[in-house]
């Protein structure tokens, strides 16, 4: 896979994570003042989450061969 393909997959996973995080968090708060910080955390988490899987899977065979 090319670097562009990996970036596309990463961005797609981040967007899906953001949608899910927003959906989950929206039922746990009300109003911008309460939800704002929670949504900000959702944005950060959605950016980091796919990378955490890459780090986790890098040590698991045979995935480590794909990213080397």
Give the residue among 20, 17, 28 at the shortest CA–CA distance from 51: 17
Q: Bigger pLDDT: 67 or 43? A: 43
> Does 56 score more than 70 pLDDT?
no
> Please, which pLDDT band fits residue 47 given cuts at 50, 70 and 90?
confident
pTM: 0.64
Is residue 48 within 8 A of residue 21, CB to CB? The reply is no
Mean pLDDT of the chain: 79
- Give the residue extent of every domain in the chain: 3-66
Task: Give tens-digit pLDDT for 20-40.
Answer: 888 888 888 887 788 888 888
């Amino acid at each position: 896979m090319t670097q562009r393909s990996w970036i596309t997959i990463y961005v797609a996973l981040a967007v899906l994570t953001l949608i899910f995080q927003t959906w989950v968090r929206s039922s746990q708060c009300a109003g911008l003042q309460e939800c704002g910080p929670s949504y900000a955390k959702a944005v950060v988490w959605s950016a980091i989450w796919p990378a955490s899987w890459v780090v986790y899977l890098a040590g698991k065979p045979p995935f480590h061969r794909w990213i080397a």
